[in-house]
């Protein structure tokens, strides 16, 4: 491993975070490398410096209270929005029920209409019958008349033949 590789491992090494083998290797390297030893010393110094620079006074008074109030408010809003959701669902259900009821009413109306249409059909049939009856009588008369014409034609033909034969 190169010197830089060992240098990169120093932050973990100084926190005792390397495995046994890595720790041994780094320790062995530090014994013979003044640059890496200096680097390790600098990290230690910087740690001391950082702890000295860390904030000297933490102003947390009232912070917990503020957070908890915000959380309670969030919960209230959530509960309220849940209630609104439930209400809106209830409203939707009611509307659905209304639509269903309306639909059922329409179905009943439909069956009434059907009943009315049956009556109407019957009337139409009656009217049809009333119109059809005289026409069938006329038809009957016409067919009788045509039969008679045919018969009459036959008689006329026989008379003509007789007359030809008699001549």
Which residues of this protein are in contact with other proteins, per CB under 8 A?
7-12, 15, 17, 42-43, 45-60, 63-64, 66-68, 70-72, 74-75
Q: How far is the CB of 16 from other proteins (least distance, A)?
A: 9
Does residue 11 contact residue 43 with C-beta atoms inside 8 Å?
yes
Nearer to other proteins, 56 or 130 (CB): 56
Nearer to other proteins, 65 or 164 (CB): 65
User: How far is 74 from 21, CA to CA, in rounded Å?
Assistant: 52
Q: How far is the CB of 1 from other proteins (least distance, A)?
A: 13
Q: How far is the CB of 55 from other proteins (least distance, A)?
A: 5
| Residue 132 C-alpha from the chain's centroid | 58
Does residue 22 contact residue 15 with C-beta atoms inside 8 Å?
no
CB atoms within 10 A of CB 59: 7
Q: How far is the CB of 25 from other proteins (least distance, A)?
A: 15
Q: How far is the CB of 8 from other proteins (least distance, A)?
A: 5
| Residue 88 C-alpha from the chain's centroid | 18
Nearer to other proteins, 10 or 29 (CB): 10
CB neighbours of 44 closer than 8 A, spacing ≥ 6?
14
Nearer to other proteins, 3 or 137 (CB): 3
User: How far is 73 from 62, CA to CA, in rounded Å?
Assistant: 16
Nearer to other proteins, 72 or 158 (CB): 72
Of the candidates 65, 56, 11, the residue with the CA atom closest to the CA atom of residue 36: 11
């Amino acid at each position: 491993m190169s010197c830089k590789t060992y240098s990169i491992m120093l932050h973990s090494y100084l926190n005792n975070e390397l495995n046994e083998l890595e720790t041994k290797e780094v320790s062995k390297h530090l014994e013979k490398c003044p640059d890496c030893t200096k680097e390790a010393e600098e990290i230690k110094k910087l740690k001391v410096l950082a702890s000295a620079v860390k904030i000297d006074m933490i102003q947390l008074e009232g912070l917990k209270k503020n957070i908890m109030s915000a959380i309670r408010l969030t919960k209230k809003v959530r509960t309220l929005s849940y209630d609104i959701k439930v209400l809106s669902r209830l409203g939707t259900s009611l509307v659905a029920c209304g639509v269903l009821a309306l639909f059922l009413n329409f179905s009943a109306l439909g069956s009434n209409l059907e009943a009315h249409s049956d009556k109407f059909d019957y009337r139409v049939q009656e009217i049809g019958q009333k119109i059809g009856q005289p026409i069938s009588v006329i038809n009957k008369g016409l067919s009788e008349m045509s039969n008679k014409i045919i018969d009459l034609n036959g008689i006329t033909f026989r008379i003509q033949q007789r007359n030809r034969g008699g001549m």
